[in-house]
Amino acid sequence: QVEDTLFCVPRFVLEQSSDIFRDMFGLPSGQNNNGEGASNKAPIILDGIKVWDFKQLLRALYAAKPDQSEPGTIDEWTAVYKLSQRWEMVALTKYAKERLGDLAEDPVEKAGLAQDLFIFDWKVAAFQEIVRRAEPLSMREVERLGIHTVENKLFRVPRVVLQESSDVFCDMFSLPSGPNNGGEGESSKDPIVLDGVTVWDFKQLLRALHAEDPNQSEPNTIEAWVAVYKLSQRWEMTALSNYAKEKLWNLAAEDPVERAGLAQDLNIPDWKIPSFQDIARRKEPLSMRDVERLGVQTVLKLAQVRECAFSSNSTRCWKRTGASQIDFTSMIQEAFGDDLKE
């Protein structure tokens, strides 16, 4: 049973294509303990499936019969592909993918299908064809590939760029929205609205995501990578977040105060001890710049660490080699306590 419609389908048609259906038919149901699907009174109920989609699947399964034509459009084969994937009909899924590939001569449509159906091996080739062509993207093509809005500004971003990096965006694209119940981001009239994000920050994220594009340079300042780190953390882009963290460390490598400030701003606990250690070891005294970047409380604790080292058994080492050879770790842990974990 699909929606309110009963389908009388020979078991073997489904069983020979899918172990899932074989298991369904083996489930007991009804007072006489008849298996599900054995009668109209105990049908197998296929929730979340549309009648039209199921009809396309049956057309594909019955295509060998002389009185039955197989599906012939992209929409029809898309339905077949989705249901065959759902029910692990491996041979039919492979065939549906081949038919979709034949029908999708337009690289934009093929890229859109790759995004919609998670056919990853189509993506690079489809995007290469789009990039190589002379014509700019039309509004229809832009809408096919995905729309986002930030601060009332529309961004046209291929779905795959965000979906491959973030489960959060995968979920966003699957949310129904609008009068036609289309997915968010499918048109400029129904974009995915990214609240609380600035246009500049989002542009830096896109620069980082498109860094492999020869026409696009990745961010190269601390401010830009801070934006990338924050948004990649927000949207659970783990790989990009780790890369942004690495870039920030490298950019602030020579300035322990900036590193410590970033550790506080971005809540990166594992940067705090090495950064505080470098500050404590330096020859220069703590300054007003340090206070402005780190705050009064942090600088006072660093002063306490340096004073503690000078007045402890490390004094001889301090006098002989300076602070550069002293391990301040235990003193930092004592002075900062739980602040190191936040």
Residue 36 confidence class, pLDDT cut points 50, 70, 90: low
26 — pLDDT class (breaks 50, 70, 90): low
Looking at 33-42, 117-126, 144-153, 157-166, which range is the least confident one?
A: 33-42
The Cα 274–Cα 328 span in angstroms is 9
Round to whole Å and give the CA distance between 139 and 137. Answer: 7
Given a cut of 80, whether residue 175 has pLDDT beyond it is no
**pLDDT band (50, 70, 90) for residue 56:** very high
15-29, 98-112, 284-298, range with the lowest pLDDT: 15-29
pLDDT digits (tens, 9 = 90+) for 134-143: 877 676 776 6
The rounded distance, in Å, linking the Cα atoms of 115 and 108 is 11
Q: How many CA atoms lie within 13 A of 223 on its CB side?
A: 3
CA quadruple 292, 294, 297, 300: dihedral sign: negative
Amino acid 115: pLDDT: 80
Residue 145 — very low, low, confident or very high, per pLDDT cuts 50/70/90?
confident
Contact 260, 271 (CB under 8 A): yes
Fold equal for 11-103 and 139-245: yes
Alpha carbons 99 and 93: distance in angstroms, whole number: 10
Q: Provide the pLDDT for residue 128.
A: 84
Per-domain residue ranges for the chain?
A: 11-103, 139-245, 252-341
Answer yes or no: is pLDDT of 213 > 70.
Answer: no
Mean pLDDT computed over every residue of the chain: 83
Average pLDDT of 4-18? Answer: 88
In CATH, the number for domain 11-103 is 3.30.710.10
**pLDDT digit string, tens, across residues 267-305:** 999 999 999 999 998 888 889 999 999 999 999 999 988
Q: Which residue has the tokens 């081949």?
A: 98
Percent of the chain with pLDDT over 90: 37
Cα dihedral 237/162/81/185 (nearest 10): 130
194's tokens: 């990214």
Whether the per-residue pLDDT at 95 is higher than 60: the answer is yes
Per-residue confidence band for 263, with pLDDT thresholds at 50, 70 and 90: very high
| Topology of the domain covering 139-245 | Potassium Channel Kv1.1; Chain A (3.30.710)
196, two tokens = 């609380």
What confidence score (pLDDT) does residue 316 get?
Answer: 52
Query: Average pLDDT for residues 50-67, to the nearest whole number?
Result: 86
pLDDT at residue 22, rounded to an integer: 80
Distance CA 178, CA 190 (A): 7
Model pLDDT, residue 34: 58
Contacts 24+ apart (CB under 8 A), 249-258: 251/221, 251/222, 251/225, 252/222, 256/282, 257/289, 257/290, 257/293, 257/294, 258/222, 258/293
CA 136 – CA 142 distance, rounded (Å): 10
Encoding tokens for residue 8?
């009388």
Q: Where are the beta strands (DSSP E) in 57-151?
A: 147-150
Torsion of CA 194, 199, 201, 202, to 10 degrees: 50
pLDDT category of residue 60 using cuts at 50, 70 and 90: very high
When pLDDT is cut at 50, 70 and 90, the band that residue 319 belongs to is low
Is residue 176 scored above 60 in pLDDT?
A: no
